[in-house]
Amino acid sequence: MSEQTRPSSASADWLAAPALERFADLEVEVGAPIEVGAVAGGLRRLIPITGGRCRGRGFDARVLPGGADFQLVTSATTARLEARYVLETDGGERIYVVNDAIRSAPAAVTARLLRGEPVDPADVYFRCLPRFETSAASLAWIAERVFVGVGVRRPSVVEMRFFEVC
């Protein structure tokens, strides 16, 4: 948070709603789902992450293949998502991403998503909480902040926009 956005007096409302500052836009390429099947909490699926791109505040990166989105479809309308993957900046720095999300939509829309069909993003609530780890000194601050995001699931790509909570 910059000095300009911090409350500066004792009368400031330190409990006011935080602002959001755009941090990064991602396009994460995904492969065909691996169905584990019905488990105690719902339908377990693993979605391989095969690549993609990220344009962040002050950096550009590629999504390295090898990550995955571990999904638990808990009802006909809701899925809990946990994606883990690595970004590599154009300068060679690496960022480990853990992104917890919830995706909710009417049952018919969720069924189409599970079949890999396109859906209208307006019909889907997709919100996430990304966390970052990096050894890059220039990006160390991202491990010390809270981020939120929104997403859109397409048949072969997930588009996301992350915001720093200021």
Enumerate domains of the chain plus CATH numbers.
19-165 (2.40.160.20)
Q: In the chain, how long is the greatest CA-to-CA distance?
A: 56
**Which segment of 5-14, 55-64, 94-103 scores lowest on mean pLDDT?**
5-14
Task: Give the percent of the chain with pLDDT over 90.
Answer: 89
Half-sphere exposure of 10 (CA within 13 A, CB side): 0
Check residue 8 and give its pLDDT.
61
Q: Is residue 7 predicted with pLDDT exceeding 70?
A: no
Give the CA distances from residue 66 to residues 6, 10, 29, 94, 103, in Å, rounded to whole numbers and listed in that order: 40, 49, 11, 14, 22
Mean pLDDT confidence for 105-134:
95
Q: Is residue 4 predicted with pLDDT exceeding 70?
A: no
Q: Is residue 20 predicted with pLDDT exceeding 60?
A: yes
Check residue 114 and give its pLDDT.
87
The residue with greater pLDDT, 152 or 155, is 152
Check residue 11 and give its pLDDT.
72
Check residue 116 and give its pLDDT.
87
Q: Which distant-in-sequence residues (6+ apart) come within 8 Å of 125 by Cβ?
A: 102, 103, 104, 105
Q: Is residue 9 predicted with pLDDT exceeding 60?
A: yes
Mean pLDDT of the chain: 94
- List, for residues 103-113, the tens digit of each pLDDT value: 999 999 999 99
Q: Confidence class of residue 146 from pLDDT cuts 50, 70 and 90?
A: very high
Q: Confidence class of residue 153 from pLDDT cuts 50, 70 and 90?
A: very high
| Four-residue CA torsion sign, 10, 13, 14, 15 | positive
**Residue length of the chain:** 166
The one-letter amino acid at 12: A
What three-state secondary structure class fits 144?
A: helix
**Model pTM score:** 0.90
Q: Centre a 10 Å sphere on the Cβ of residue 52 and count the other Cβ atoms it contains.
A: 22
**8 A C-beta contact, residue 162 and residue 26:** yes
Q: Is residue 5 predicted with pLDDT exceeding 70?
A: no
What is the C-alpha to C-alpha distance for residues 134 and 132, in angstroms, rounded to an integer?
A: 7
